[in-house]
């Protein structure tokens, strides 16, 4: 399944309120979301047939759309239910979910007040984001030439498609140089995140992570912070600078796809995944597989 192109698969996709055959879920080439980036989305993981933090993801999709100036045609609760229907229709036990919403094709130009808001939800089987063997050794990150933008220049707290253009460029450059992913700084030169995940550093036995003032405060990020504090660990959210890379002994990233993934190399700096990282990998694995642990992690993170 993993090697099949995404436009040519069996199954069903929820599109504009109804389930349609996978190959029939099409849009026009003059769709505004394609040309002008008026598109928002989510990435969600299915564990044992259930989406982890489903409502938080649905609510963030609604929020992201409003930041871009449009309202979704259904509520967060209705998105939750549609997501469950898609998972059941495709018999997904462990997989990935992609809800996406965009402006349609009635108007073509920067202005698009009268465009229909389109929405789709797809799901498919998806194993660990990074190769398991590489994951336990620690993945390799290369510093990107691209920086996360200022909140004055982009809707940085929305999960908007256009914000990921520099992520794709950064990840392609990193992979071309033999790395797994890229580390991105922000417009001030502070450490920000990787291309699709938040980043954490263990310094003097404490966990430090950049404050998310110009990038997403990830749902997995908040969950892991809650799990760490439940375990008695100190978590410090603060501005982080390049010289912090020299102080860290462990580094890991967190995200819906990446889960908790150790980092073994940033450019030429090496790190060894240690007890704090291992403890949080185990804690997160328990959280996503246990409803009671999930509820506890949610309350602790928020």
Nearest to 232 by CA among 268, 181, 192, 275: 275
How many CB atoms are closer than 10 A to CB 255?
24
Mapping DSSP to helix (H, G, I), strand (E, B) and coil, where does residue 254 land?
A: strand
Residues ≥6 apart with Cβ < 8 Å to 102: 27, 31, 32, 33, 34, 38, 39, 40, 117, 118, 119, 161
Q: Could you give the dihedral angle defined by the CA atoms of residues 242, 163, 253 and 226, in that order, rounded to the nearest 10 degrees?
A: 110
Distance between CA atoms of residues 212 and 199, nearest Å:
10
Token pair recorded at residue 287:
């959280």
Task: Give the 3-state secondary structure of residue 246.
Answer: helix
Does the annotation count 159 as an active-site position? Answer: yes
Of residues 159, 171, 247, 275, which has the active-site annotation? Answer: 159
Instruction: Report the catalytic residues.
Output: 159
């Amino acid at each position: 399944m993993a090697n099949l192109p995404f436009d040519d698969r069996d199954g069903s996709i929820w599109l504009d309120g109804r389930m349609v055959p996978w190959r029939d879920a099409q849009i026009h080439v003059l769709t505004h979301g394609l040309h002008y980036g008026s598109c928002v989305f989510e990435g969600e993981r299915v564990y044992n047939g259930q989406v982890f933090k489903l409502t938080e993801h649905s609510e963030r999709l609604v929020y992201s759309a409003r930041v871009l100036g449009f309202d979704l045609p259904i509520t967060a609760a209705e998105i939750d239910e549609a997501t469950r229907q898609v998972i059941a229709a495709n018999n997904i036990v462990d997989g990935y979910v992609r809800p996406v919403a965009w402006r349609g094709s009635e108007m073509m130009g920067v202005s698009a007040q009268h465009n229909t808001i389109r929405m789709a939800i797809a799901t498919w089987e998806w194993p660990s984001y990074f190769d398991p063997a590489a994951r336990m050794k620690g993945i390799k990150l290369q510093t990107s030439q691209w920086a996360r933008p200022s909140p004055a220049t982009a809707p940085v707290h929305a999960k908007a498609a256009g914000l990921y253009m520099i992520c794709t460029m950064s990840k392609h450059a990193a992979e071309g140089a033999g790395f797994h992913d890229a580390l991105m700084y922000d417009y001030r030169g502070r450490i920000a995140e990787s291309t699709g995940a938040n980043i954490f550093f263990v310094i003097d036995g404490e966990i430090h992570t950049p404050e998310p003032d110009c990038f997403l405060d990830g749902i997995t990020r908040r969950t892991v912070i809650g799990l760490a504090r439940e375990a008695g660990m100190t978590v410090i959210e603060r501005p982080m600078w390049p010289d912090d890379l020299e102080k860290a002994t462990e580094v890991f990233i967190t995200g819906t796809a990446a889960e908790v993934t150790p980092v073994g190399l940033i450019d030429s700096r090496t790190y060894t995944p240690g007890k704090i990282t291992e403890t949080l990998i185990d804690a997160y694995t328990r959280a996503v597989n246990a409803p009671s642990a999930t509820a506890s992690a949610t309350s602790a993170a928020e």
